[in-house]
Amino acid sequence: MDLRLTETQEAARQTARELAEKKLLPAAAKLDAGETFPVEAVKDLAEAGLLGMRIPESHGGAALDTVSYALTLMEIARADAAVAVTLSVNNLVAETLANFATPAQKDAWLPRLNTPEGLGAFALTEPQAGSDASNLRTRAEHKGSHYLLNGEKTWITSANHAGVFLVMAVTDPAKRSKGISAFLVEGGAKGMTVGKHEPKMGQRASHSCPVFFKDCKVPAANLLGGEGEGLKVALSGLDSGRIGIASLSVGILQACLEEMLRYSKERTAFGKPIADFQAIQWMIADTAVELEAARNLTLAAAWRKDAGEPIGEKAAMAKLFASEAANRAAYRATQVFGGYGYSREFRVERLYRDARVLTLYEGTSEIQRLVIARNVLK
């Protein structure tokens, strides 16, 4: 792996950094406090060509490589993790579509994911099926020219602003994991309703909603992949998605380190800046090492993906390490700030809350370990 960035990768990072510093960071605290969906940020991302950055050029996207994508998410998450997860879920849907869609489906659906109105939602999780993704209950009954969807999804990112839903549902209950299929459903489709977004601890400007299907008619042409291939569609999409969440984690780690450095040089105690104390220096050193390790694991997984190698295990490793390290970094940053770190007036309080979900969504740390162990033991 070549650790030097190409011109394209450097340019993608720079574009994202400018947008993050000029627009996203100044708006982040207010959006978080109001649980306000980042409508303007999504428009800005679309204008900067970042919303559909992994969509092929033939379908209006920027067709950036995975390393550029990871670098972009790191910069966005450094400013606002809620915006970054909105972007990464859009990309999760776009990439899964690009990998499994027929040419006609690509023409019909991919260009929408470049636009704020066509934002993607990935509808896998159900109230009783989070980690156990094959235990779905949402039913899709084949009725000739269409399927009829009935059931309930939960924790669906951006559902109340999405235009393109990727929905996994059971087509043949007897076949269990081989009886699940994936469907493309338009936002606002008759028979699909989106409930109120969850009040959350962190990443509050990203909205996570329940979605209900009651006799929702989906054209048979909207089946993505073959019937019974839905779990494979979803889980292979999540392999890539986990590189996205690892990148988000790196962004939060970076922000924690920056805050620790700035504050520890400004704040004095016992007659000198607290950065002069070894207790603080060790926390800074540990965070710097973990940032470096997390970034390298994430970029290595992205690089392997671009090289066409299998990435399941490496993406799980990057997501596990980076998300856990981001939580340790947020804990240390709060320690360095002392009581101020517990105040809503300071950025580290938001970073601490935003970091927490990183070890939960797109597969908990325990699921990442399961994926890694299965690979290591085989």
Q: Would you say 291 or 367 has its CB closer to ligand CAA?
A: 367
Q: Active-site residue 186, yes or no?
A: no
Contact 84, 73 (CB under 8 A): yes
CB of 124 to ligand CAA, least distance (A): 5
Binding-site ranges for ligand CAA (CB under 6 A): 85, 89, 122, 124-125, 131, 133-134, 157, 177-178, 231-232, 235-236, 238-239, 312, 361-363, 367, 370-371
Question: Which of 17/369 has CB closer to ligand CAA?
Answer: 369
Nearer to ligand CAA, 157 or 181 (CB): 157
Work out how close the CB of 53 gets to ligand CAA at its nearest, in angstroms, rounded to a whole number. 18
Shortest Å distance, C-beta 212 to ligand CAA: 17
C-beta of 82 vs 257, nearer to ligand CAA: 82
With respect to ligand CAA, which residue has the nearer C-beta, 212 or 263?
212
Which among 7, 259, 362, 366 is annotated as catalytic? 362
CB of residue 241 vs ligand CAA: minimum separation in angstroms?
6
Q: Which of 137, 141, 301, 295 is nearest to 227 (CA)?
A: 141
Q: How far is the CB of 8 from ligand CAA (least distance, A)?
A: 27
Which residues belong to the active site? 362
